[in-house]
Amino acid sequence: MPLSEFSLIDRYFTGHSRHRSDVALGIGDDCALLDPPLGQQLAVTLDTLIADVHFFANADPEGIGHKALAVNLSDLAAMGALPAWATLALTLPKIDEDWLAQFCRGLFALAEDRGVELVGGDTTHGPTTVITIQAMGFVPPGEALRRDGAKPGDVIYVTGTPGDAGLALAAAFGQATVAPEYRADVQDRLERPQPRIAQGLALRGVASAAIDVSDGLAQDLGHILERSGVGARLTVDRLPLSPALTASLKRDAARRMALTGGDDYELCFTVPSKKTTRLEKLAVAWRCRCTRIGVIEAEPGLRLVRANGSTFSLERLGYNHFG
């Protein structure tokens, strides 16, 4: 006999994650009851992952659980928010207890590691696996890293080495070959993105704008430019290319992958020039690279240039779900 919806929820989604003192009532009633901290704003984000659209249906379920939460924590990081609570809407075509147990292991390991408590859930039966997580966190008023604060002269940075997840995805579709010694690395970058939470917190009061790179660096930077009413000049020679990327693709193809590959969940942010020294000192302590890649300009549009000043061209900026 199949488990009922309710025992399913009971078995897999209660009691796993840590119990935060600001959760007055967790899963199991009509609503969760939460105590927001005094003097903080609540940052709220949500992302949906769909089988065979955002992940391969036959991928490692532990990785899917990790990623479903990670992409949301990445949005909190991009806002400079400290993660606190999450809810999960999980639609499944069938009950597969092994899959669920592994999915939960990935989800709750990351939640535990980042101090997040799952406070609500809805498990439903539908034709395909659809996972929506909403994450909530805190940020002091006026300190959030919005998209609309970039000013001409601000320096543009990116964390990590964008393009690795895009390379893994291209390889999965047979559009690229990953150098054998890097296959596990890039697969891990695709399946287990690490939300840059510490970096986002450090950027409070330093960055003028920030976004996380989910749909490709060029496209996501474009959102900052649009919302801020500015443009940018990006020097492609400065792009921090991983050894995996340079070992697997020719130099210009590697740059294109770093600019357009999705799923990296790095932070792209801008810093006023008078704060760049402070930023670069902070970044020494980070467990990821932090690279200056360009500069904000008054003229709208994104200009990609080589070190010699010639134009670098892209056919597309990034991923479009309905494109």
DSSP conformation letters of 122-187: EEEE-SS-EEEEEEEEEE-TT----SS---TTPEEEEES-TTHHHHHHHHHTTS----GGGHHHHH
Residue with smaller CB distance to a copy of itself, 86 or 155: 86
**What residue type is 27 in one-letter code?**
I
Contact status: 247 vs a copy of itself (CB under 8 A): no
- Please measure the distance between the N-terminal and C-terminal CA atoms of the chain and give it in whole angstroms: 43
Residue with smaller CB distance to a copy of itself, 154 or 215: 215
**What residue type is 266 in one-letter code?**
E
CB of 247 to a copy of itself, least distance (A): 32
Select the residue interacting with a copy of itself from 102, 132, 246, 276 (CB under 8 A): 132
Contact status: 174 vs a copy of itself (CB under 8 A): no
CB of 86 to a copy of itself, least distance (A): 10
Select the residue interacting with a copy of itself from 17, 32, 111, 262 (CB under 8 A): 32
Contact status: 198 vs a copy of itself (CB under 8 A): no
Q: Using CB under 8 A, which residues numbered 203 to 232 contact a copy of itself?
A: 210-212, 227
Q: Cα separations (Å) of 303 from 10, 16, 18, 316?
A: 53, 48, 46, 13
Contact status: 162 vs a copy of itself (CB under 8 A): no
Contact status: 315 vs a copy of itself (CB under 8 A): no
The window from 1-9, 57-65, 103-111, 256-264 that contacts a copy of itself (CB under 8 A) reads 1-9
Residue with smaller CB distance to a copy of itself, 88 or 234: 88
Contact status: 165 vs a copy of itself (CB under 8 A): no
CB of 96 to a copy of itself, least distance (A): 12
Contacts 24+ apart (CB under 8 A), 276-284: 276/155, 278/206, 279/157, 279/203, 279/206, 279/207, 282/202, 282/206, 283/199, 283/202
The window from 126-134, 163-171, 244-252, 278-286 that contacts a copy of itself (CB under 8 A) reads 126-134
Residue in 51, 31, 58 with CA at minimum distance from that of residue 92? 51
CB of 254 to a copy of itself, least distance (A): 26
The window from 11-19, 61-69, 128-136, 257-265 that contacts a copy of itself (CB under 8 A) reads 128-136
- The answer to whether the beta carbons of residues 240 and 267 sit under 8 Å apart is no
Q: Is 115 helix (H, G, I), strand (E, B) or coil?
A: coil
Residue in 214, 299, 294, 196 with CA at minimum distance from that of residue 262? 214
CB of 43 to a copy of itself, least distance (A): 4
Interacting residues with a copy of itself (CB under 8 A): 2-6, 8, 24-25, 28-36, 38, 41-48, 50, 53-54, 75-76, 78-79, 81, 85, 87, 89, 91, 95, 119-128, 130, 132, 134, 136-137, 139, 141, 144-148, 210-212, 227, 320-323
